[in-house]
Amino acid sequence: MTTTLIGLKRLSGNNIASPIGFKATGLHCGIKHKKNDLALLISEVPASVAGVFTTNAIQAAPLIVTKEAIQQSGKMQAIIVNSGNANACTGKQGVKDARQMQQKTAEKLGIAPELVGVASTGVIGEVMTMEPIIKGIQKLEPSSELEGSILFSQAILTTDTVTKNTAYSTEIDGKKVTIAGTAKGSGMIDPNMATMLGFITTDANIESIHLQAALKTVTDLTFNSITVDGDTSTNDMVLVMANGMAGNDSLTPAHEGWEQFIATLQAVSQDLAKMIAKDGEGATKLIEVEVTGAITDAEARKIAKTVVGSPLVKTAIFGCDANWGRIIAAVGYSGATLNPDTIKIDIGSTTVVEKGEPVTFSEAQLLVYLKQPEVKIFVDLQQGNGKGIAWGCDLTYDYVQINATYRS
């Protein structure tokens, strides 16, 4: 079963290996006590590659190695991922270990090391125990079947409560083009980037330089528009591999199918971003903030992310408290250009502020809405044509408990 969305088809399988020529798997190698902790994603042929990485000045060893690989070859054919240990703040030994993961994976697959990306997630500051990882790499047997993709998506998780997968197809040059994605992340989420690993596959034919431009465009509208707790991690990245096996003409901004490709890539990225926000540590609600009437789209996104990231707004939503004062205060300290006398705020379908002043509304009716699993806040500045959306989650007792005992 598929659902048509703006000319795209959302695939029910949600399979990272749905595009032609991709395989995936995951297993338990022993980094964690019981759960899957080692994953592999491969393409039959070297693929064009694009990546966006954490803005944290302290970057984990796997990011260093993966960036080097992209710079060396401009292509990628495999990604090896471990969870349970971030391999961050581990000095020269950490880089050595990440390179060993890269080398052993390349040997396993019979490909050049510079075609292998490396990603890690987990506890910061602990040196990797390499023996189980090396043994685990030898046991990995990727598959194009759904089971392999499920194992992959499970093996990359840390405090996540659910796996995060999505896939869409579209038609370009008369060819079916598929884009699929898998991600992890539920805490330390405040991109530009954050504790998030995202892996996107496509069989589209597109050169790396244009794929990078496409990823940058959609990242600003999706992954960089979510926040859970305001912390930015040391490890996070989103990687896209495009192996060209769909057989379309090479995509460029001048290609008539470019906008369709961008829309499909954005649909995949937005699904993953919203899943991450919804699965925030201890979260009970997904919060969406839509801002219109700003001077620019960038300012609208800035305001939306400020509101959804406010601890006071997040706790009010958790408590089902229609405290719009916290919303307008966040709008005010966002740093964006605004006129306090023109601001309109709606929570769901209920207007709570009009022209910067309070409006009489039914607290009881709004309470019913705030108890729903998804809460939408609309802010209209009435200053221009800029618009933007951001996603986040409520802040709960469980968030404190999870992060107070993370290493226990």
Backbone angles phi, psi at 283, to 5 degrees: -70, 145
**Please, which contacts does 308-316 make with residues 24 or more away whose CB atoms are closer than 8 Å?**
308/227, 308/377, 308/390, 308/391, 308/392, 309/190, 309/227, 309/230, 309/390, 309/392, 311/230, 311/395, 313/287, 314/287, 314/392, 314/393, 314/394, 314/395, 315/394, 315/395
CA neighbor of 46 nearest in space, from 144, 119, 142, 115: 115
Tokens encoding 365: 């009716």
Within 13 Å of residue 135, how many CA atoms lie on the same side as its CB?
A: 8
195 is an active site residue: yes
Tokens encoding 379: 């802010």
Catalytic residue, candidates 178, 195, 201, 350: 195
CA neighbor of 212 nearest in space, from 171, 245, 241: 241
Beta strand 237-242 with 197-202: parallel, antiparallel or unpaired? Answer: parallel
CB within 8 Å of 317: residues ≥ 6 apart: 285, 287, 370, 375, 394
Catalytic positions = 195
